[in-house]
Amino acid sequence: MSPSTSVPFVPSTAPFNAQQRAWLNGYFAGLTSFAETAAPPAAAPPVAKKPLLILYGSQTGTAEALARKSAKEAAQHGLEASVKEANACALDELAKTERLLLVPSTWGDGDPPDNATQFWSALSAVEPPRLDKLSFSVLALGDKNYSDFCGAGKKFDERLAQLGATRIHPRVECDLDYEPAAKGWMATVLPALSECGGAPALSLAAGLPATARLVSALESAVEASTSKAFSRNRPFPARLLLNRALTGDGSAKEVRHFAISLADSRLNYEAGDALGVLPTNCPVLVSDILAALGCDGEEAVRAPDGGETSFRNALLRHYHITQPAPPLLEALAERAQSVELKTLLAPENKAALEKHLHGREVIDFLIAHPLARFTPPEFVALLRKLNPRLYSIASSPKAHPGEVHLCVSIVRYEAHGRGRKGVCSTLLADRVEGDATLPVFVQTSHGFRLPASGDTPVIMVGPGTGIAPFRAFLEERQVLAAGGRNWLFFGDQKRATDFLYRDELEAMFKNGVLTKLDLAFSRDQADKIYVQHRMLEHAPELWSWLEDGAHFYVCGDAKRMAKDVDAALHELIQSAGGKTKEQAAEYVAALKSAKRYQRDVY
Ligand SMILES: Cc1cc2nc3c(=O)[nH]c(=O)nc-3n(C[C@H](O)[C@H](O)[C@H](O)COP(=O)(O)OP(=O)(O)OC[C@H]3O[C@@H](n4cnc5c(N)ncnc54)[C@H](O)[C@@H]3O)c2cc1C
Ligand SMILES: NC(=O)c1ccc[n+]([C@@H]2O[C@H](COP(=O)([O-])OP(=O)(O)OC[C@H]3O[C@@H](n4cnc5c(N)ncnc54)[C@H](OP(=O)(O)O)[C@@H]3O)[C@@H](O)[C@H]2O)c1
Ligand SMILES: Cc1cc2nc3c(=O)[nH]c(=O)nc-3n(C[C@H](O)[C@H](O)[C@H](O)COP(=O)(O)O)c2cc1C
């Protein structure tokens, strides 16, 4: 259960162990309840704080972290914020709410994340309640690489306004480099909200009772200590302990297992979390870009944080230099007077542009348009910031203390006459040598977790690299000697070369940790066999596990696999459970509400 934000809490990244964290959290909760119940001293009358509801929709925790940060900032503006996932908010509660901040990311094809889908369904129903009392603002998270940029945030924003709510601040849309935009949004929206509805809020600092001031001081102390802790903004330089192939000779893929040391980092994680890796670009590609621009790399440019650095270092460490961003394409079209590129960039040619961009990178456009000249500062201003990559953690910390393991598919392909390399996966595979370290951070998942009881059965569907968190889950259950049944559906191309973690899984099946192991090798026969086919073959048994309270997990490819597995789940609930289509949809919705259907898809 996520802590309520009106009570200060110690984040999991703080440099305390679980026991210390639990003690501090209990202490804060106690102090807060004392502050709430104790009679205030005569000189400090109780402060009227205005309630603020902050809802997030977040798949991998970014929007949730921003929602919690907003709640913390809100306290400085006389607002008492409560934070929760959007699905946990019923519409009759929303209809009574006066102030709302909504922080949704976008997944799938412009869809809300799993923990906001039910909220969206309720809002978009035919006759939801009017929201005339509500003042709101949306901070939408997304990624401009996707065609429906911030699609979910846009839908929420428009729908809330349609239902009569007042947009107190225009929607802010954040690309992967979300921090400056999010900070700006908080700085303007919170004062505006504190002015709206009810009596004007009092200055909090002036009216704080002594106990609340103590809480505030303790919170600052925790913040000071956590700011020294390793995090996304201050990644830990980790050593790579192991890099070995999981796929065999002759495989069409290259999937590798990595073990990374977290020794001396004080970073904690749980099975179900992800590891963020801040990559650097391939130095050969950087040199090729410098050569195409006629530069030696020593020129001074700005890094994204405003500091000065060399052009080579900026291209190596700070900017995304593979897929070109629209401003660079527009500048190239203009400077090279390219009719072809200008035509492709016209709004009506979006599909043709996407097709043209497939497999083409910045270097291809520079070579194709030598007439377009840029100074180094102009060039970096047209690039996006290089962002961290997330990897589902493939180990349990109980089985591998001080280590984190990853299962990574290495991106390499040939396109338009040039060998291409995925930035981070090939860094991991090829470029961490000698004493070199990798900047990493733990991205805590608040949703993707084993059931609280070790006796609850779990069903895991994880083809390809989707196996990663399930290796962690199984290790965790093995170490804890949990009694619950475990069923894994795994699949990949060929049994001989692509049966990832074969020895470990077969050993777990033999020793009973894995109750059932169903395999789907897609290319060992003429017809494709996928994990969802295996699910349907076992529909009655899978149904009985669900009826026994099993939790159902899916990890791996979001575009095709996760959708097809979802369809198969609906289908087997109908066939084996004797439900109609609508009843099956209700059953799945209930599984989601009970956190018994969780996904980690990408
Ligand atoms: C929550 C989460 C968990 C994840 N867990 C894992 C995991 O456990 N294991 C794992 O391997 N990955 C995982 N990923 C994906 C991972 O974060 C990276 O996206 C992946 O490793 C690719 O990153 P890269 O830097 O190597 O490639 P990038 O440099 O980002 O290149 C990838 C891009 O290359 C292009 N591309 C790739 N193949 C082709 C092709 N054949 N033709 C043309 N263009 C192509 C596409 O534009 C694609 O977007 C996860 C992602 C998320 C969000
Ligand atoms: N953009 C692309 O074209 C592309 C291609 C591959 C992977 N990826 C991405 O690369 C990442 C890692 O891939 P991965 O190595 O983990 O595995 P993966 O490519 O997802 O493949 C794992 C297994 O899933 C099968 N599969 C394909 N389509 C499926 C579907 N609709 N339903 C169920 N199973 C299906 C594959 O079969 P077959 O391969 O035989 O069909 C293979 O046997 C993922 O993010 C994935 O999205 C992208
Ligand atoms: C599989 C996948 C699909 C995504 N789809 C979209 C999309 O359609 N539109 C968009 O703007 N961003 C999309 N994103 C980007 C996320 O919205 C972005 O990374 C966001 O910061 C994630 O926030 P969260 O951690 O709170 O979920 C997608 C990301 C992934 C991994």
Q: Ligand 1: distance of its center to the CA of 466 in Å?
A: 13
Q: Does 444 contact ligand 1 (Cβ within 6 A)?
A: no
- Is the pLDDT assigned to residue 43 strictly greater than 60? no
Mutation pick for ligand 3 pocket among 68, 143, 171, 384 (CB with most ligand atoms within 8 Å): 143
C-alpha of residue 505 to centroid of ligand 2, in Å: 20
pLDDT tens digits, one per residue of 106-143:
998 889 999 999 999 999 998 999 999 999 999 999 99
Strands 403-409 and 412-415 turn out to be unpaired
Q: Using a 6 Å cutoff on CB, does residue 602 contact ligand 1?
A: yes
Q: Are 486 and 460 in contact (CB under 8 A)?
A: yes
d(C-alpha 70, C-alpha 169), whole Å? 15
SS3 271: coil
CA end-to-end distance (rounded Å), the chain: 24
Which residue in the block uniquely carries the two structure tokens 């913390």?
72
Nearest Cα residue to atom 16 of ligand 3 = 142
Tell me what pLDDT residue 217 has.
Answer: 56
What pLDDT is recorded for position 21?
A: 58
Give yes or no for a contact between 219 and 75, defined as CB atoms under 8 angstroms apart: no
Long-range contacts of 88-95 (CB under 8 A, 24+ apart): 89/53, 89/55, 89/119, 90/122, 91/122, 91/123, 91/128, 91/129, 92/129, 94/53, 94/129, 94/131, 94/134, 95/129, 95/130, 95/131, 95/133, 95/134
* Residues 429-473: tens digit of each pLDDT: 999 998 899 999 999 987 899 999 999 999 999 999 999 999 999
Under 8 Å CB-to-CB from 572, ≥6 apart: which residues?
535, 536, 539, 542, 543
Q: What number does the ligand 1 atom closest to the CA of 424 have? A: 25
Q: What are phi and psi of 459, to 5 degrees?
A: -115, 125
Among 56, 117, 146, the mutation site with the greatest number of ligand 3 atoms within 8 A of its Cβ is 146
The continuous run of DSSP H or E covering 320 comes out as strand 319-320
Question: Residue 19's pLDDT band (boundaries 50, 70, 90)?
Answer: low
What residues flank ligand 3, with Cβ below 6 Å?
A: 58-63, 105-110, 113, 141-143, 146, 148-151, 558, 602
Question: Chain centroid to CA 377: how far?
Answer: 31
DSSP structure string for 397-449: TTTSTTEEEEEEE--EEEETTEEEE-HHHHHHHHS--TT-EEEEEEE--SS--
Cα 463 to the chain's mean position, in Å?
Answer: 20
Mean pLDDT, range 271-284, rounded to an integer: 98
Q: What does each C-alpha distance from 480 to 397, 401, 460, 488 come to in angstroms?
A: 12, 14, 18, 18
Residue keyed to tokens 């969206």: 120
- 538 or 26, greater pLDDT: 538
Q: Ligand 1 centroid to 61 CA: how many Å?
A: 18
| Angle (deg, nearest 10), helices 114-123 and 581-593 | 130
Beta bridge partners of residue 523, listed in sequence order:
none
Query: Of 37-46, 149-158, 222-231, where does the model show the most confidence?
Result: 149-158
Cα-only R_g, the chain: 26
| CA nearest to 192, candidates 66, 73, 46 | 73
Of ligand 1's atoms, which has the minimum distance to the CA of residue 60?
1
Q: Is the CB of 559 under 6 A from ligand 1?
A: no
Which one-letter amino acid corresponds to residue 40?
P
Ligand nearest to the CA of 472: 1
Hey, what amino acid is at 476? E
- Dihedral pair phi/psi, residue 570, rounded to 5°: -60, -45
Q: Is 358 exposed, middle or buried (0-12, 13-18, 19+ CB in 10 A)?
A: exposed
Q: Residue 225: name the closest of 20, 437, 43 by CA.
A: 20
Q: How far apart are CA 408 and CA 424, in angstroms?
A: 10
* Span 334-360, average pLDDT: 96
Q: Which of the four pLDDT bands, split at 50, 70 and 90, describes residue 506?
A: very high
Q: How confident is the model at residue 10 (pLDDT cuts 50, 70, 90)?
A: low
